[in-house]
């Protein structure tokens, strides 16, 4: 917050400096020009009257009586005029200073706000991530320490401990991979390659990736996707569908089915993934796209491993493609996740 304030003040000072430099330069030029005009005017009048006097023309009625050297404009009057001009310019510059200062402060705030939001978001991301990493790391560390202190630990016990630790390390690895993916996709949109992608090809790739998990649970994946062309990154779109299919498998009972369908609406295409799984309660529905959010039933009853990052990544990928993800779900009946993407060709 203090960095934001000081950056805002610095930016305001720069805005003010630039505006005041321009304003003061203009004022100096205006002042010099007006002074020159006053002098020129007085000189012209003096020449005209001297010429009239020489040719004995009548002198204007309001002309003051005097000798041959007639001064038309009083030097005091000229000095007074120039002082008044100076005062007026100073007042104008003062007003500009106050207005530009206030406006500059507001504009600096507006300019810096997205950066401040991004820094806040990054800090929250780092805090959430370190919090999630700390728990498995602590349990790993204490398990190792306890076993190291055990004087009677034989080779077989040591191997068991190591096997358990490898499982924990694998989980940590997948967590760090997910964190990296999320950070990667949260970069500005320009970083994504935008190629023409065939929806059927991407979906085949995604189904192929999750097929082993589906086979373990004897789940049938019914792929009824029609071919449309989407503009985007093939890899990230495949990752988006893998996340949704992976969840559908994780939160579904054995021997159930998953249906993948497409439906065209105007210039967009709805790709829906429907499962016959545990479903999501209305309270959880509001939060499942939040980072690190896991519904309690997912943690306990289903024993499905995950850190609650999948849907966050999926939503970021969809947003990077100008798409959206929506979900409808009924507890114990199943869930349907629908990705809406703009299409190029159908």
- The footprint of ligand ADP (CB under 6 A) covers 247-248, 251, 275, 277-280, 288, 293-295, 298, 306-312, 335
* Under 8 Å between Cβ of 228 and 268: no
Listed in sequence order, the residues at least 6 apart from 34 whose beta carbon sits closer than 8 Å to its beta carbon are 82, 85
Task: Extract the runs of DSSP E, i.e. beta strands, from 219-342.
Answer: 220-224, 229-232, 257-265, 268-275, 324-330, 334-342
User: Closest CB to ligand ADP among 239 and 275?
Assistant: 275
Burial of residue 19, with CB atoms counted within 10 A of its CB: 0-12 exposed, 13-18 middle, 19 or more buried: middle
User: Closest CB to ligand ADP among 288 and 343?
Assistant: 288
**φ, ψ dihedrals at 197, nearest 5°:** -120, 135
User: Closest CB to ligand ADP among 48 and 173?
Assistant: 173
Cβ 307 to ligand ADP, closest distance in Å?
5
Place of tokens 């390659």: 193
Q: Which residue is nearest to ligand ADP (CB)?
A: 306
User: Closest CB to ligand ADP among 89 and 273?
Assistant: 273
Region at 322 (left for phi over 0; alpha for psi -120 to 50; beta for the rest): left
Cβ 96 to ligand ADP, closest distance in Å?
54
Burial of residue 317, with CB atoms counted within 10 A of its CB: 0-12 exposed, 13-18 middle, 19 or more buried: buried
Cβ 305 to ligand ADP, closest distance in Å?
7
What single DSSP character describes residue 302?
S
User: Closest CB to ligand ADP among 306 and 323?
Assistant: 306
Cβ 180 to ligand ADP, closest distance in Å?
15
User: Closest CB to ligand ADP among 52 and 294?
Assistant: 294
Cβ 313 to ligand ADP, closest distance in Å?
8
Cβ 268 to ligand ADP, closest distance in Å?
22
Measured distance CA(267)–CA(65) in Å, rounded: 90
């Amino acid at each position: 917050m203090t960095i934001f304030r000081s950056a805002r003040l610095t930016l305001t000072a720069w805005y003010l400096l630039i505006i005041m430099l321009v304003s003061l330069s203009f004022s100096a030029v205006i002042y010099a020009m007006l002074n020159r005009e006053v002098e020129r005017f007085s000189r012209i009048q003096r020449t005209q009257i001297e010429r009239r006097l020489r040719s004995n023309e009548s002198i204007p009625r309001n002309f003051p009586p005097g000798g041959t050297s007639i001064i038309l404009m009083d030097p005091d009057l000229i000095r007074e005029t120039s002082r008044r001009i100076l005062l007026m310019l100073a007042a104008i510059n003062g007003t500009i200073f106050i207005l530009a200062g206030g406006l500059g402060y507001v504009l600096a705030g507006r300019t810096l706000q997205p950066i401040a939001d991004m820094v806040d978001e990054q800090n929250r991301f780092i805090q959430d991530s370190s919090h999630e990493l700390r728990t498995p790391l602590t349990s790993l560390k204490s398990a190792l320490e306890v076993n190291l202190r055990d004087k009677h630990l034989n080779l077989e016990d040591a191997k068991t401990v190591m096997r358990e630790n490898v499982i924990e390390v694998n989980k940590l690895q997948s967590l760090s991979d997910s964190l990296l993916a999320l950070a990667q996709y949260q970069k500005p949109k320009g970083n994504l390659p935008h190629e023409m992608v065939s929806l059927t090809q991407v979906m085949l790739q995604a189904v192929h990736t999750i097929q082993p998990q589906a086979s373990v649970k004897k789940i049938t994946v019914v792929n009824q996707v029609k071919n449309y062309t989407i503009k985007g990154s093939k890899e990230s779109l495949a990752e988006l569908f893998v996340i949704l299919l992976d969840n559908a498998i994780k939160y579904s009972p054995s021997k159930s089915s998953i249906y993948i369908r497409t439906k065209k609406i105007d210039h967009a295409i709805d790709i829906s993934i429907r499962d016959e799984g545990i479903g999501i309660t209305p309270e959880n529905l509001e939060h499942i796209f939040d980072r690190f959010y896991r519904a309690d039933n997912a943690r306990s009853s289903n024993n499905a491993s995950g850190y609650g990052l999948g849907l966050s990544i999926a939503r970021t990928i969809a947003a990077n493609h100008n798409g959206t993800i929506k979900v409808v779900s009924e507890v114990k009946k199943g869930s349907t996740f629908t990705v809406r993407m703009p299409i190029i060709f159908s």
